[in-house]
Amino acid sequence: MTSAIASTVTLPAPATGQAHPSLWWIYLIETKSEFLKLFRSPHYLVGVVGFPVMFYLLFGISLSRNSGGSITAAQYLLASYCVFGVVSAALFAFGAGVAVERAQGWMSLKRATPMPPSAYLGAKVLSAMAFGTIILVLVGLCGITLGGVHFPAATWLRLWAVLVLGCVPFCFAGLIIAFTVPPTGAPGIVNLINLPLSFAGGLWLPVDMLPKALRAITPALPQYHIGQLALGAIGAVETPDTLQHVVALLVSSVVFGALAWWTWRRSDQKA
């Protein structure tokens, strides 16, 4: 049995702890694991990839004909649903993912290993970016084949850059949720925050179609700023104030990052 098997394994001298493993290798394997974990989770895949694609097919494609101006609904909604997708990808990977992994002791187990903490967070950020890319490819294919969307390569690239870089503040926002709400409630709380704020941030309807009361808070939402950058990238905003939106996202990254760090420390001290 095991003892007989075990005796056929010759154990080398135990580790001395002085040598370093390759940091690149850790990041690579950690990101691959995180991505596979999310990719194989039906909840995540449906919620994060399925919804934007479905919304786009329902609203973007079916509305594509009744649009005036140079930008069609198929183009406009392609950008804003991709933003909705990547924001969800970040919020769920961090908000729900970290909360669950904390509750299951998975995070404690990893923290007891020599894993660099940046690998844990970095893998989740890179995975959210990868899902943002997948969403862009799928929604983009729908747009090209069914919505008559034709962008030059540079436009696609600009949109992609907005998605992968703009998701960072939402990763931090997710961390704050993970460290403050009870783990079983985290997925629900993420939905409760994500859906209304996406709406209020103009990701489902153009901002000038929103009720006036909502429009008052819209500029305070990072969803609005990443949305405007994405629309600017495809030329859907006449005179895009790119700098203002980039600064807004940077400021929210710093604020959310600091809050995430603080909530992490606070929950750590309670343990």
Partner 1 sequence: MPAATAAVASLDGVTHRYGNVEALSGVTFDLAPGQVTALLGPNGAGKTTVVRLLTGLARPTRGKALLFGDDPQSAPAKRRLGVMLQIARVPETLTVREHITLFSSYYPAPLPLADILRLTGLESVADRRYGKLSGGQQQRTLFALAICGNPGLLFLDEPTVGMDVESRRQFWDTIRTLAAAGRSILLTTHYLEEADALATRIVVLNRGRVIADGSPAAIKGQAAGRQVRCRTRLGAQALAALSGVQRVVPEEAGTMLLMSSDSDRTLRELLARDLDAHDIEIRGAGLEEAFIALTDADRKTAVA
| Site residues (vs partner 1, CB under 8 A) | 1-3, 5-9, 11-12, 14-21, 25-26, 29-30, 33, 36-37, 40-41, 101, 104-106, 108-109, 111-116, 270-271
The residue type found at 217 is I
Amino acid at residue number 131 = F
Closest approach, Cβ 83 to partner 1, in A, equals 27
Which residue, 28 or 63, has its beta carbon nearer to partner 1?
28
Find the shortest distance in angstroms from Cβ 24 to partner 1.
10
C-beta closer to partner 1: residue 114 or 185: 114
* Burial zone of 154 (CB within 10 Å; 0-12 exposed, 13-18 middle, 19+ buried): exposed
User: Nearest to residue 95, comparing CAs of 184, 29, 33, 32?
Assistant: 184
* Closest CB to partner 1 among residues 28, 195: 28
Minimum gap (Å) between residue 97 Cβ and partner 1:
9
Between 114 and 148, name the residue whose CB sits nearer to partner 1. Answer: 114
Hey, how many other C-beta atoms are within 10 angstroms of the C-beta on 244?
13
The distance of closest approach from Cβ of residue 168 to partner 1 in the complex, given in angstroms and rounded to an integer, is 23
Q: How far is the CB of 229 from partner 1 (least distance, A)?
A: 33
Shortest gap between Cβ of 167 and partner 1 (angstroms)? Answer: 21
Say how far apart CA 19 and CA 79 lie, in whole Å: 47
**Of residues 93 and 248, the one with the C-beta less far from partner 1:** 93
| Angstrom distance (rounded) from CA 240 to CA 159 | 14
**How would you label 58-84 residue by residue, b for 16+ Cβ within 10 Å and e otherwise?**
ebbbeebeeeeeebbbbbbbbbbbbbb
- C-alpha span between 113 and 75 (Å, rounded): 47
By beta-carbon proximity to partner 1, the closer residue of 44 and 76 is 44
